[in-house]
Amino acid sequence: MTIRRLFLTCFAVLAVSGCIRREYSVVEVTPDVMRSPDMRSAANLPERFAVVTPATDPRDCPPVLRDTGLHTTLRLHRSMLRQVADSAGYRAIGDYSVTPSGLYGEIEGEGLRVDCGRLSAIGVVGL
């Protein structure tokens, strides 16, 4: 009797799980909104930068960031708000000078563009 009950329980679970509708949606924010024609790829990037000096306004970029892995310091050179595609919202991005330079593939006169909301690099830009 217990085998029959086990069989019926398994059958019921399988039947119910087949009736469950699963929906998956992927929201992908493309960095193209934040790119510029003169931007190029960077190397050796961390997943996130650490905030050393917080921004005075939560919608702005932090003045100083740090890469704890490579021990680099990023200082804000300029920041701007860019409209997010298919949205009424804006995202802050900042162009940062890097000390010591060259660890991300940037050369003299270049720095990193950072998505300030995610604290992740987008690419190398001219400063």
pLDDT per residue over 66-98, tens digit each? 999 999 999 999 999 887 666 667 889 999 999
pLDDT per residue over 3-56, tens digit each? 666 656 655 655 555 554 444 333 233 444 455 667 888 999 999 999 999 999
Does the model's pTM come out above 0.75? no
Strand partners, 94: 79, 114
